[in-house]
Structure 1
Amino acid sequence: MKIIRYIFTGILALTLMPSCTGELDQYPHIETTSKDVYTSVENYKMVLAKLYASFVINGQERGGGNRDFATNKGYDYMRSYINLQELPTDEVAYTWSGVIFDLCYHQWNASDIFASDMYYQIYFTISICNEFLRNSTEEAISGFSHSEQTRLRAFRSEARFLRALAYWHALDLFGNAPFVDENDPVGGFLPPQYNSRQLFDFLDGELTVLEADLPEASATEYARTSKAAANALLARLYLNAGSYEAEEHYSQCIAACNKVITSGFSLEDNYALLFNADNHLRTNEIIFAFAIDGVHTVSSGATTYFIAGSVSSSNKAQDPADYGVASGWTSFRAKGALTSKFGNGDNRAMFFTTNQSQYVTDMQDEFTGYLFGKWTNLTDDGQTASNTASSGACTDFPIFRLADIYLMYAEAALRGGTDPQGNTTAKALAYVNQVRTRAYGNTSGNITAGELTLDFILDERARELYLECVRRTDLVRFGKFTSGDYLWEFKGGQAAGKAIDDKYRLFPIPETDLSANSNIKQNTGY
């Protein structure tokens, strides 16, 4: 896949301020101009491919070479997202020490390099989406034929969705964040800071429009956006509205879930196949995914990070080949707070237990905590899909899938949302039991209406969606992330866990952005 080099317009203020040079150098690397690039539909499509790829690879060359911009650690978007969404939760124990332990122990501050990397990855993606949109206005595409204009408008809707996804990450992780769109000037512009409610309202309006403009899932090429993807993101936005200083949107969440559920999706029979190197074939359940392979999107992040990072380099009882990797990185282990949630017969409990104790008693002791086996680089017939030592994994990363939609519907129903089609409670129970029937292979794990509680849903989401980058968001929504009501190993840096300051519900705005833009204020407590 040819990928064109683009002008980085970024957070814009950051491209001009000397305080942002060095490790966080955001200056544009200009090798061509918009006038040269936006000359054909195929060129537009290649730029669009870059927008998608920006979530999983951080450069212009195989393996992330010729970086888009420099960050502290140089990790791609998804590796940064994994770090922030998984390491501070009850799911993952991280082995290697260093400043990353600030995430593990809930001790990060305004100078945290991992939060900073995520922030700049988000705004790089937003910036290139904005640049695409500036060059795909009705005026800009007026010289193309009628059929070409139709295609370019469709591309424009896709770019808007990808920008919305990045803005949702900014909202969910940082709360109050800069806002810039394609109508703002390039260079010498200080973006205003939107608060959580303003970002929520922007996303609500934007996604509602896009839901009408995007194609049906059945008419969409795999790993590209659709109406179903827009509705899935809307459902997630609405379910978390309370975290974003908005009023409850549980009935709206149910309505968005209904639109996805009636779009023709169905649960995959075999849970494990959703997370292997042939998971691009699981279009029955996967609504939208980031496409990962060992040729075009090679990186040490995304699913490579999950797969190689979950395999031990020291436990000789575990064979890396069983997961399709050349060797293990010994990065991740499962906390007992997670593994203890699974009942006997639950096939989602994909953990390697030999020579491993269940609970983490020492964060750096790689033999405490079971090893994850959920993600693999194996094809359906058990063959290794790529050489992860040199080319990374070939397993895609599902962003939305039907089981998550079912569980969101159930939670919204329990929180008081209603379905205009009726039978809200009965549907919620049926959807949860469909997920559990798949998990157990029969109805032995099904629950009754009396057992369907919010606490059950939080645990069920852990069982179904662990290592899928939703856990921090879930714990914040349930009020469990910072409180002492729910503890796990090393929460707050203590082996038994402890309550932590509520400021950790959000990550800090990087100090470099605060110094560059006088419109930006730091999140409370930092």
Structure 2
Amino acid sequence: MKKINIIYILFAFVALQSCTSDLDVVAEDTKVNSPEQLFSTPLGYKQALAGVYGNLSLTGTGDAGSSFLQGIDAGTSQFGRCMWYLQNLTTDEVVWTYENDEGTAELQRNTWTSANPILLGMFSRTMAEVALANDFLRQSTPELLSARGITATADVAEINFYRNEVRVLRAFAYYNMMDLFGKAPFVTETDPLNFKGPQYDRKQLFSFIETELNAVIPNLKAARANEYGRLDKAMAQMILAKMYLNAEVYIGAPKYAECMAKCSEVISGGYTLNTKYLNNFKADNQTSSEMIFTLQSDGVKTQNYGATTVMINGQVGSLEGNGAEFGVGGWGGALRLRKQFVEKFDGSKFLTDARKTYTTSGARTLEIASLTNGAQGYILHKYSNKTVAGVAGVNSTFVDTDFPLFRLADAYLMYAEAQMRKDGATNGSTATNTTAQSLKYINDLRERANNGSTAANVSKGEVNLDFVIDERSRELHWEGHRRQDLIRFNKYGGGNYNWAWKGNIANGTSIGTEKNVFPIPTAAISANPNLTQNTGY
């Protein structure tokens, strides 16, 4: 199979830190090994490593409805699904039809509170990743390896690779906490289990993540040198590039030159653009040369209601019943496009653009007068549970398509934006100061989207920051970036850019700047007195 063998043995004995008191990790399998048994061999360490990775894909050790987070539903705590809801459903790209699904109505109407179950799920799942990483690091010290008789040079070296990867995964978890919540309880492997970590703000988290990633990058495997499903230098570099691009939001200081440097390292590292845009979103997208790091999905091994299962089934239109197109049964029009996203493809330059996949024909309306009417709003055709060759995945509900957390095209666009901002571009300005290199990156993506044709290429005079954010949506829609981008461009909380149902108004209305971070879940604050609520909640 294409996927790393995800084994959830760690879930049996790691207690979550800084979540609610009733959200401990619970063993779901009586055959799960104890820590002493698991860590007695080098193979056990690899199985434990798979558990740290696995927390980003699955929710428990049982079926798709199982969750090792006691007291939280699997459907509202799967990492990819929660992340996608927060980064995309809260923006101008997409709406969810079934508002009875807990937490979704408040997110897509921008009316969430600290009691929202999806916010609790994301907070808890992400801090679970920190807990799992910390325990792996505790269990893999040189002293413990020696005491357990694991002394062969090759075994020790490989486990040290695991340790460095786990440190990146922990940094990635804190990166998400910094971006989404603006703060987090801070816990490392030197702290005891059930330790109520102190609250770290964005500046503290930024400093930790930056220091940690720079320390481990030299000791990670080179880009594309690791087995599929495991991270490499490029993944860590992408996290840093994202942080530097958003540094003015996070820490109030520009770091655009640093962003350009990290993007350049990624771009020169060995990944290459897939010649076909849509091949990045098919059931065999693990073969794409563009994928830097993904959330793995397999219709047999990783059955869960995660991001790609939700998106592909959700794409199926209530009017079209076109599940066969994607190799799934579909969920009757669960997902539809907001008008403002569709309009980003207006104009003759997008007539042959492969990124323009939405359906416009038939009885569908562009306007969404009712969020619960699956016949209103266009539908997307971007993701598929079929391979490049057209072979459907092994399961018609749980898809084989991996979710692209980081892919090379994003590095191209981040470089261009960072260069423009470094050279003086500001939000709302019409200045066009893109360099030849940045313009080449933009047009490389345009040519790829148009089957190699240069007809849709843009000139230097057409590229300002407003162009860049629209191009990011055209290239990266439904990939977990949109909310972050809108905030960076001052088009989210406090901005004057409105979209359908923003602020719970059909035509959209402004929302407060407090919405640029999510509230800390009430349950998390109750469990850890070190945490304080974000302003405005």
Name whichever of 294-303 and 150-159 sits farther off. 294-303
CA distance in 2, matches of 1:430, 1:310: 33
Residue 123 of structure 2 is aligned with which of 100, 119, 128?
A: 119
Aligned to 1:358: 366
Aligned to 1:43: 44
**1:481–1:505: 8 Å Cα contact kept in structure 2?**
yes
Deviation sequence 1:389-440 (CA, Å, 0-9, x none): 3xx000011111111000000000110169xxxx981111110010111112
CA drift at 1:326: 2.0
CA distance in 2, matches of 1:74, 1:361: 27
1:120-519 map, 5 Å: 120-142=124-146, 143-144=149-150, 145-187=152-194, 189-282=195-288, 284-312=289-317, 314-315=318-319, 317-342=320-345, 343-354=350-361, 355-389=363-397, 392-416=398-422, 425-441=435-451, 442-519=453-530
Aligned to 2:427: none
The TM-score, its normalising length taken from structure 2, stands at 0.91
Instruction: For 2:472, give the aligned amino acid.
Output: R
CA distance in 2, matches of 1:65, 1:11: 17
**1:347–1:440: 8 Å Cα contact kept in structure 2?**
yes
**2:65–2:304: 8 Å Cα contact kept in structure 1?**
yes
Instruction: For 2:98, give the aligned amino acid.
Output: W
Structure 1 residues 13 and 428: CA distance shift in structure 2, 3 A: closer
Aligned to 1:82: 84
Residue 112 of structure 2 is aligned with which of 100, 108, 112?
A: 108
Aligned to 2:99: 97
**1:178–1:193: 8 Å Cα contact kept in structure 2?**
yes
Deviation sequence 1:476-499 (CA, Å, 0-9, x none): 111101234211101001011010
Unaligned runs of 5+ in 2: 425-432
CA distance in 2, matches of 1:493, 1:66: 32
**1:8–1:127: 8 Å Cα contact kept in structure 2?**
no
CA distance in 1, matches of 2:33, 2:390: 44
Q: CA RMSD in A?
A: 1.9
The SS at the match of 1:194 is: strand
Name whichever of 407-416 and 220-229 sits farther off. 220-229
**1:8–1:128: 8 Å Cα contact kept in structure 2?**
no
**2:115–2:521: 8 Å Cα contact kept in structure 1?**
yes
CA drift at 1:302: 2.2
Unaligned runs of 5+ in 1: none
CA distance in 2, matches of 1:57, 1:432: 35
Instruction: For 2:87, give the aligned amino acid.
Output: Q
Identity, % of aligned positions: 37
Structure 1 residues 291 and 297: CA distance shift in structure 2, 3 A: same
CA drift at 1:73: 5.7
CA distance in 1, matches of 2:368, 2:59: 33
CA distance in 2, matches of 1:484, 1:507: 17
The SS at the match of 1:287 is: strand
CA distance in 1, matches of 2:498, 2:200: 33
Structure 1 residues 298 and 410: CA distance shift in structure 2, 3 A: same
CA distance in 1, matches of 2:279, 2:330: 22
Instruction: For 1:309, give the aligned amino acid.
Output: G
CA drift at 1:114: 1.2
Structure 1 residues 27 and 399: CA distance shift in structure 2, 3 A: closer
Name whichever of 251-260 and 75-84 sits farther off. 75-84
CA distance in 1, matches of 2:18, 2:338: 41
Instruction: For 1:115, give the aligned amino acid.
Output: L
The TM-score, its normalising length taken from structure 1, stands at 0.93
Structure 1 residues 27 and 256: CA distance shift in structure 2, 3 A: closer
CA distance in 1, matches of 2:154, 2:16: 34
CA drift at 1:254: 0.3
Deviation sequence 1:416-470 (CA, Å, 0-9, x none): 169xxxx981111110010111112211111111111110010000000000010
Deviation sequence 1:372-399 (CA, Å, 0-9, x none): 110010011212112233xx00001111
Name whichever of 148-157 and 98-107 sits farther off. 98-107
CA drift at 1:65: 3.2
The SS at the match of 1:259 is: helix
**1:51–1:125: 8 Å Cα contact kept in structure 2?**
yes
Structure 1 residues 417 and 280: CA distance shift in structure 2, 3 A: farther
Instruction: For 1:194, give the aligned amino acid.
Output: Y
Structure 1 residues 414 and 8: CA distance shift in structure 2, 3 A: farther
CA drift at 1:67: 3.2
Instruction: For 1:178, give the aligned amino acid.
Output: P
CA drift at 1:28: 4.4
CA drift at 1:112: 1.3
The SS at the match of 2:280 is: helix
The SS at the match of 2:64 is: helix
Name whichever of 456-465 and 337-346 sits farther off. 337-346
CA distance in 2, matches of 1:262, 1:42: 33
Instruction: For 2:438, give the aligned amino acid.
Output: A
The SS at the match of 1:289 is: strand
Structure 1 residues 500 and 393: CA distance shift in structure 2, 3 A: same
CA distance in 1, matches of 2:383, 2:367: 21
CA drift at 1:68: 4.4
Structure 1 residues 271 and 153: CA distance shift in structure 2, 3 A: same
**2:244–2:258: 8 Å Cα contact kept in structure 1?**
yes
